[in-house]
Each structure stands twice: as C-alpha cells, then as structure tokens.
Amino acid sequence: MSLHLQHWKFLTMKSPKRTKEIKIRLTEQEHQILLDKKTGAELATWIRDTCLETESPKKKPIKTADPELLRQLAKIGGNLNQIAKATNTEQARGDIINLLRVTAELATIREQLDELLERNQ
C-alpha cells in the first residue's frame, strides 16, 4: 500500500478526539495573510485541512434572497390566503359563479409565480 493511500485511509477513519496543541508565533502581517488565505470560518480548520491535505465537509452556502422578490412573494401569499377564505365561504354557500372567479384568480397567481421563478433563476 502506498504512503499516500495509507495517509488517506488514516484520515478517512473516524478521527479520535484532538488532544494535541501546536502553538506558533506570527507577526501581525503573517497572521493577516493566513486569515486572507483561509477558506471557511475557522483558521485552525483551514490550517489542518491544508497541512494534512484533507478537506472538511463543505457546508451548503446560504443564499440571499432579493428583497423585491420577497415582497412580491408576500403579496402573492396574502392573495392566496384571501382566495382560500373566499373559496371556503363560496363552497359553503354553493355559489358556483364566485368559485369560477376564484379559480381564475388562482390561475393568475400561478402565472405570476411562474414569471417570478423565471426571472430569479
């Protein structure tokens, strides 16, 4: 078994609790360079991954949402709540014409959602 394969096998096993500590002294500039180079949140994790040639499991990045998109979705959600209430009321009364109107409103909302989805992909 090659040294690299042994190294990889060792690193992929369930790792024991870390009890050893290494302390180094850096200048302000050296420290800043390491902070600028690191990927992820923790410097210690980045140094360990870099020096031991491993890679930490990647966390999924949190996507930010466009505030305008959120406002539009909130409006559509409000419309859906009004339609749900109207539908329940019209069903209780047996008013077919108003149920058809509500169905048309739902179709309009679906078109709006499709348009928003298309614009924000």
How much is the pLDDT for 15? 66
Neighbours of 88 (CB within 10 A): 11
Does pLDDT of 29 surpass 90? yes
Does pLDDT of 31 surpass 80? yes
Q: What are the pLDDT digits (tens) for 52-103?
A: 877 655 666 667 778 888 888 888 888 888 887 877 777 777 777 877 887 8
What is the three-state SS of 11-74?
Answer: HHCCCCCCCCCCCCCCCHHHHHHHHHHCCCCCHHHHHHHHHCCCCCCCCCCCCCCCHHHHHHHH
Spacing of C-alpha 104 from chain mean position: 34
Which one, of 81, 52, 73, lies nearest residue 120 by Cα?
Answer: 73
pTM of the model: 0.37
